[in-house]
Amino acid sequence: MDQVKFVAEYAAHLMGCGIHTSRVIRNTKRLGDALNFDVNISVFQKSIILTIQKNETQQIFSEVIEIPALPISFEHNAELSGLSWEAVDRKLSFEEIKAKYDKIVSAPRMNQWLVLLLVGLANASFCRLFGGDWLSMFIVCIATFAGFYTRLFLQARKINHYIIFIVSAFIASMLSSTALLFNTTSDIALATSVLYLIPGVPLINGVIDIIEGHTLTGISRLTNAFLLIICIAIGLSFTLFLFTNRLV
């Protein structure tokens, strides 16, 4: 049934773009109400199981769908949540809901080069926040730009994401180590060069999920986040090993 598959796809997309579990459940149930369905959801690490009962005929459908590996998107978070409210408040038809959903998920993303620039400037701001000088900020901005570009390049080739984090952390920290050649706050530049890789959203969502009773999903998210942090540490350690004598 098309409507059942759509509700499952909606829930999976919300989970994939980085929304905590209870919000996914609330939004999906609300969308089900708009379509005259009673929705029950079980969320796991890589899949979602939905049991959907059509209120008019009392028919029961089950759907299992994999959670896609999507980039974290606060824009999709807000717009898809708003879609569920709009579907209820305005009593939209299934065709209207589906059309709006397709428009949201197919909208072009922000220009890649603009994202690279903004991430570089944001990480340079962290350098300044921790006491770095202007030269260190410039070096960190360039190192972050290169590291994040490496991450996007490897992601496009579907390389294992743990390897991506190790390589990206190494590239960024390696370039930021050029601060050692100047009379500048090189230690701060080196330490802040990898902050753009910190998986803040999975860490926050993992804690929220555990607090709200979705323990299995929360622990899996925290475990994945901690593994990514270990990968960042490994990449940074390679640079520290190469420049041990200069740092002493």
What pLDDT digit, counting tens, does each position of 136-147 carry? 999 999 999 999
Phi, psi of 42 (to 5 degrees): -120, 120
For residues 195-221, average pLDDT = 92
What pLDDT shows up at residue 1?
Answer: 72
List the one residue out of 85, 63, 62 whose CA is nearest residue 12: 63
Q: What is the identity of the amino acid at 158?
A: K
**239 and 117 within one domain:** yes
101 and 145 within one domain = no
Alpha carbons 225 and 162: distance in angstroms, whole number:
10
Structure tokens at 25: 């459940």
Are 128 and 62 within one domain? no
Query: Higher model confidence: residue 244 or residue 240?
Result: 240
pLDDT at 231: 96
- Assess whether 77 and 133 both reside in one domain: no
Beta bridge partners of 54: 37
Query: Residue 6 — pLDDT band, cuts 50, 70, 90?
Result: very high
Provide mean pLDDT across the span 40-49: 89
pLDDT at 228: 95
* Mean pLDDT, range 189-210, rounded to an integer: 92
pLDDT band of 246, cuts 50, 70, 90: low
Mean pLDDT of the chain: 90
| Statement to judge: residues 81 and 173 lie in one domain | no
User: Same domain, yes or no, for 145 and 241?
Assistant: yes
Chain centre to alpha carbon of residue 207: 15
In this prediction, residue 242 has a pLDDT band, given cuts at 50, 70 and 90, of confident
DSSP assignment letter at 45? S
In angstroms, the Cα distances linking 183 to 36, 37, 40, 138, 180 are: 67, 66, 61, 14, 7
Type of residue found at 221: R
The predicted model gives 124-141 an average pLDDT of 92
43, containing H or E segment: strand 37-43
The answer on pLDDT for 227 being more than 60 is yes
Judge if 117 and 164 occupy the same domain.
yes
User: Confidence band (pLDDT; 50, 70, 90) for 218?
Assistant: very high
Domain boundary among 83, 106, 129: 106
The predicted structure's pLDDT at residue 244: 64
According to the model, what pLDDT value does residue 245 have? Answer: 58
* Rounded-to-integer distance, Cα 239 and Cα 235, Å: 7
Whether 4 contacts 52, CB under 8 Å: yes
8 A C-beta contact, residue 70 and residue 155 = no
Do 190 and 89 belong together in one domain?
Answer: no
Which of 41-50, 155-164, 178-187, 226-235 is predicted with the least confidence, judged by mean pLDDT?
178-187
Q: Which domain holds residue 206?
A: 112-247
**Count of CB atoms within 10 A of residue 219's CB?**
14
Give the pairing type, strands 60-66 and 47-54: antiparallel
Q: Which of 106, 135, 153 is the last residue of a domain?
A: 106
Distance between CA 168 and CA 235 in Å, rounded?
7
pLDDT score at 21: 93
Q: Are residues 45 and 93 in the same domain?
A: yes
The count of domains in the chain is: 2
**46-86 per-position pLDDT tens digit:** 899 999 888 777 788 888 999 998 888 888 989 999 999 99
| Cα separation values, 198 from 52, 205, 218, Å | 37, 14, 17
Tokens 């060069």 locate to: 193
Where a domain ends, among 90, 106, 122? 106
Q: 0.75 cut: is pTM over it?
A: yes
